[in-house]
A and B are shown apart, each in its own frame.
Chain A
Amino acid sequence: MTGGGRFFDEFIDDYFSECDEHLETVRRTLLALEEAGGSAVDPVRLHELSRALHTLKGLSGMVGLSAAEEVAHAMEDCVRAIASTGFASPELTESLFAGEALLDSCIASHRAGNAAPSPGPYVDRIRDVVAMAGNQVRTRAIEESAGAITIDALSIEADTQVQRFAFTPSAELAQRGVGVELVRQRLGAIGHIVATTPRVLATGGVVFEFGVALRDGMSPDESWRGDGLSWEWIVPVRAEIKSVGMVVHAPKRGTGSVSPTASNVVRVDLARLDELMRMVGELVVTRARLGESVTHASGGLSSNAWDDLNEVNETLERQLRSIREGVMRIRLVPIGEVFERMRFAMRDIARETGKAIHLEFDGQSTEIDKLVVDRMLEPLLHLVRNAASHGIEPRADRVAAGKAADGTIALRARAAGDRIVIEVEDDGAGIDGRKVARRASELSLLPPSDARSVEALPPDALLDIICAPGFSTRDTADMASGRGVGMAVVRSAIRGLGGELFVDSVLGQGTRFTIELPLTLMIADALILEIGDQAMAIPQIALREIVPFDRTAVTQFENNEVLSHRGRVVPLVDLSVLFKFPSRPGVARHVLIVGSDHHLAGLVVDRILGLREIVVHPVTDPLIAVPGVSGATELPDGRVGLILDAAALVRGTRDRHSRAAVRHLSSPTPNMTPALTSPEHVWS
């Protein structure tokens, strides 16, 4: 039965990924439902929700996750209650939100191999809520004398052009044999009936409303009007037709582009894409070796033959680049998915904190590696929670400060070259540097004497304090945020992806966290260089400038070397000293300027061999991981090269800088940065 087990394992992966997708639909439709408030429910949405729940129920049943099955079933009851009343009461909506959370945790528990939470209490509650909704229907029906049920509304497909008909039966018509069944047959002959709604009139009679998707060229017979049937011509011109309780989109005709629908999307296991990317990576390396060989062969070939060979080599490089980009694009997903989840989380946060907060999105279609998206979910959630809980002030304070009563948190994403920039910005109180400093000294993260001066420190220093493990400005943690471990985890998650976190905060105006991430983690353009005999690579995006190493421009400062460069003081890290690869004598050395605007660092290296595409093999094993090295790669000449982690090297100099700055705050010494001379100093 091993075959069966394997089949099941594969199936269970599919199950989880399908669940993710359907839960996403559930969340999206629930939010839309809530947004509509007490107004008429959009049957298309409701149908979508119902279908997603039904699928979740079915799938969960198949994998034997009966807890999820029961929850989905109870949620379906809620949806049905909404469909039958045509209106989503707060209780029903709330129950659905609670159900989604429970469903999510059932599936997550199953995934983690834990026992799913018991659905019993939830299912019982739903039973009550649905029963109560039933009572409300009665009340509503009496109040409006129109307790209508929408029968087929749940089967409306989006993008259908629908004509509405109303049939009023009467005893006289019934005598002539004209009843709702005949009307239905007639309408069924000219189109597909997508919705049927009996509506009770105040006078006591009943009207049947039909939504019919007319077949091309078909129209109702005018004589039917004499048989109690009425209709008004609606000419839908690609616009949204909004009629009571029914939203229908006109079919998109003649538009060239077809948006992706379930039918033309293929689900691919991420591991297979990784494998494909790895193979492309090997091709890239082989091509680079071919390039080297071609260069070396120039002497032994006629110039024509060599030109041909070289041209083929260059064409191959271009084509490989296209393949690489193509494969990379497959892995990209819009970041909007993650943003949407923030909207969902914001609901809970708003309730917990009692603040009214608007979420603004920009650049949702920005695409980013699937793996990066998955790993960014928690950090983003934490930043948004922080913004809501610490950033946005209580309403009264906001009004007093002359701000809009409701807070705004903006989530933005954009592509910048090979990187993706994500911003989380709130219009709240900003980070109070003094308060942070005071708290930091209370927690012994900072010597007390320096607390008052911390406000003068640049944002990076502020960020370091906020991101210190154990730091929290709250005395007690609240539900939304403030356990004091969050920001440390946020920053390490971002750094783990090769990214960096920045903060800008203006007291009284707001705070902006900026996350920079690499677009993809596997193949990068890199500068190949040598330190002693060891070849190393540094990602091109990390480089700001390359300057010849001029010993006369270097000054000694507190046993460290600094370089005066373009009017700034740049701490130097001599990599041959740091990694203990002795430089060859007489070689012309170079300085690679890396880092951010706030903190530059100069890496002193020996020879520079050129720019190459490299395949990144991350070094994740903690036993062999070396600070300052992010991974390894195979070089064109067949050697293994280490990939330098420029950000970590800059951080090393900065940490020293901060300590030095703290030491010198009270002295008039210029704010110069001591350089690092050995690894012990960097990561002590």
Chain B
Amino acid sequence: MIIASLSTIGGLSFEQAVSGLEAIERITLSSVDLVVLDLNMPDVHGLEVLRFIRGQQALRDLPVAVLTTRGDEDSRAAALRDGATIYLTKPFVPTTLVSQLKPFLQVA
């Protein structure tokens, strides 16, 4: 997992979930400031996780960055409609990613 290697970049600590369910578990159990969500996960589609997050009162304002290989406009629109805060496409440069995410953390 590429994100795993990011664990301490730019002063942010990343926690990795290997599946959509685990992501939901982590998000609800520990206090997370931001979610980087891959749409292609082995069990649950990323957008389902996103909708779940947006369905919880406590998590409504949690910034969620969707990270995907799909760069087409439809996928982007779908993700934003479901409540994605920012839509990023792969491949990505870790430091750029962090700099793109930071504004949302400051807001949060």
A binds B: yes
Which residues of A does B touch, CB under 8 Å? Answer: 84, 127, 130-131, 134, 137-138, 140-142, 145, 147, 149, 151-152, 169-171, 174, 179-181, 184, 196, 198, 200, 204-206, 208
* Cα-based distance from A141 to B55 in the complex (angstroms): 6
Q: Which of the candidate stretches B15-23, B62-70, B96-104 sits at the interface with the other chain?
A: B15-23
B48 at interface (Cβ–Cβ under 8 A)?
yes
The answer to whether B21 touches A149 (Cβ under 8 A) is no
Q: List 25 A-B contacts (CB under 8 A).
A: A130-B81, A134-B51, A134-B54, A137-B55, A138-B55, A140-B55, A141-B55, A142-B57, A147-B52, A147-B55, A149-B52, A151-B21, A151-B44, A169-B29, A171-B30, A174-B25, A179-B22, A181-B19, A184-B19, A196-B43, A196-B44, A198-B52, A200-B28, A204-B58, A206-B28
Residues of chain B contacted by A152 (CB below 8 angstroms)? 43
Closest chain B residue to A206 by CB distance?
B28
Cβ-defined partner of B51 (8 Å) among A84, A170, A205, A206: A84
The answer to whether B81 touches A181 (Cβ under 8 A) is no
CB proximity of A43 to chain B, nearest CB, Å: 14
Which residues of B does A touch, CB under 8 Å? Answer: 18-22, 24-25, 28-30, 43-44, 48, 51-52, 54-58, 60, 81-83
CB proximity of B42 to chain A, nearest CB, Å: 10
The answer to whether A171 touches B29 (Cβ under 8 A) is yes
Residues of chain B contacted by A170 (CB below 8 angstroms)? 29
The answer to whether A138 touches B44 (Cβ under 8 A) is no
CB proximity of B71 to chain A, nearest CB, Å: 19
The answer to whether A205 touches B25 (Cβ under 8 A) is no
5 closest Cβ pairs, A-B complex:
A147-B55, A141-B55, A206-B28, A180-B25, A142-B57
The answer to whether B57 touches A149 (Cβ under 8 A) is no
CB proximity of B75 to chain A, nearest CB, Å: 13
* Cα-based distance from A134 to B28 in the complex (angstroms): 20
The answer to whether A181 touches B21 (Cβ under 8 A) is yes
Residues of chain B contacted by A145 (CB below 8 angstroms)? 57
The answer to whether B51 touches A184 (Cβ under 8 A) is no
* Cα-based distance from A140 to B52 in the complex (angstroms): 12
The answer to whether B51 touches A151 (Cβ under 8 A) is no
* Cα-based distance from A82 to B56 in the complex (angstroms): 17
The answer to whether A200 touches B21 (Cβ under 8 A) is no
CB proximity of B8 to chain A, nearest CB, Å: 21
Closest chain B residue to A198 by CB distance?
B24
* Cα-based distance from A319 to B94 in the complex (angstroms): 79
* Cα-based distance from A206 to B44 in the complex (angstroms): 16
The answer to whether A179 touches B28 (Cβ under 8 A) is no
The answer to whether A147 touches B56 (Cβ under 8 A) is yes
Residues of chain A contacted by B57 (CB below 8 angstroms)? 138, 141-142, 145
Closest chain A residue to B58 by CB distance?
A204
Given contacts A134-B54, A141-B55, A200-B56, contact A127 B25 (CB under 8 A): no
Residues of chain B contacted by A137 (CB below 8 angstroms)? 51, 54-55
* Cα-based distance from A581 to B22 in the complex (angstroms): 90
Residues of chain A contacted by B55 (CB below 8 angstroms)? 84, 137-138, 140-141, 147, 149
Closest chain B residue to A149 by CB distance?
B52
CB proximity of A313 to chain B, nearest CB, Å: 69
Residues of chain B contacted by A208 (CB below 8 angstroms)? 21, 24-25
Residues of chain A contacted by B29 (CB below 8 angstroms)? 169-171, 174, 206
The answer to whether B51 touches A149 (Cβ under 8 A) is yes
The answer to whether B48 touches A151 (Cβ under 8 A) is yes
* Cα-based distance from A134 to B22 in the complex (angstroms): 23
Residues of chain B contacted by A130 (CB below 8 angstroms)? 81
Cβ-defined partner of B25 (8 Å) among A84, A141, A204, A206: A206
* Cα-based distance from A204 to B31 in the complex (angstroms): 12
CB proximity of A474 to chain B, nearest CB, Å: 46
The answer to whether B25 touches A179 (Cβ under 8 A) is yes
* Cα-based distance from A171 to B52 in the complex (angstroms): 20
Residues of chain A contacted by B81 (CB below 8 angstroms)? 127, 130-131, 134
The answer to whether B21 touches A198 (Cβ under 8 A) is yes
Closest chain A residue to B45 by CB distance?
A151
The answer to whether B20 touches A205 (Cβ under 8 A) is no
* Cα-based distance from A159 to B55 in the complex (angstroms): 32
CB proximity of A70 to chain B, nearest CB, Å: 11
* Cα-based distance from A142 to B54 in the complex (angstroms): 11
Could you list 16 further interchain pairs (A-B, Cβ under 8 angstroms) beyond the known A149-B48, A151-B48, A206-B28? A127-B81, A130-B81, A134-B81, A138-B57, A138-B60, A142-B57, A149-B51, A149-B52, A169-B25, A174-B29, A180-B21, A180-B25, A181-B21, A196-B44, A205-B28, A208-B24
* Cα-based distance from A169 to B21 in the complex (angstroms): 11
CB proximity of A156 to chain B, nearest CB, Å: 15
Residues of chain A contacted by B21 (CB below 8 angstroms)? 151, 180-181, 184, 196, 198, 208
Residues of chain B contacted by A204 (CB below 8 angstroms)? 28, 58
The answer to whether B54 touches A138 (Cβ under 8 A) is yes
Closest chain A residue to B54 by CB distance?
A138
The answer to whether A181 touches B52 (Cβ under 8 A) is no
Closest chain A residue to B81 by CB distance?
A131
CB proximity of B25 to chain A, nearest CB, Å: 4
- Among B19, B24, B54, B60, max chain A CB count under 10 A is at B24
Residues of chain B contacted by A181 (CB below 8 angstroms)? 18-19, 21-22
* Cα-based distance from A168 to B21 in the complex (angstroms): 12
CB proximity of B62 to chain A, nearest CB, Å: 13
Residues of chain A contacted by B52 (CB below 8 angstroms)? 147, 149, 198
CB proximity of B104 to chain A, nearest CB, Å: 20
CB proximity of A627 to chain B, nearest CB, Å: 61
* Cα-based distance from A151 to B51 in the complex (angstroms): 11
Cβ-defined partner of A84 (8 Å) among B19, B48, B60: B48
* Cα-based distance from A392 to B20 in the complex (angstroms): 54
CB proximity of B21 to chain A, nearest CB, Å: 5
Residues of chain B contacted by A206 (CB below 8 angstroms)? 24-25, 28-29
CB proximity of A653 to chain B, nearest CB, Å: 68
* Cα-based distance from A14 to B81 in the complex (angstroms): 37
* Cα-based distance from A7 to B46 in the complex (angstroms): 40
Closest chain A residue to B18 by CB distance?
A181
Residues of chain B contacted by A184 (CB below 8 angstroms)? 19, 21, 43
* Cα-based distance from A200 to B44 in the complex (angstroms): 17
CB proximity of A318 to chain B, nearest CB, Å: 61
Residues of chain A contacted by B44 (CB below 8 angstroms)? 151, 196
* Cα-based distance from A204 to B58 in the complex (angstroms): 8
* Cα-based distance from A285 to B52 in the complex (angstroms): 70
Residues of chain A contacted by B24 (CB below 8 angstroms)? 180, 198, 206, 208
Closest chain B residue to A173 by CB distance?
B29
CB proximity of A128 to chain B, nearest CB, Å: 10
CB proximity of A301 to chain B, nearest CB, Å: 81
Residues of chain B contacted by A147 (CB below 8 angstroms)? 52, 55-56
The answer to whether B56 touches A141 (Cβ under 8 A) is yes
* Cα-based distance from A76 to B59 in the complex (angstroms): 26
* Cα-based distance from A127 to B80 in the complex (angstroms): 12
Residues of chain A contacted by B43 (CB below 8 angstroms)? 151-152, 184, 196
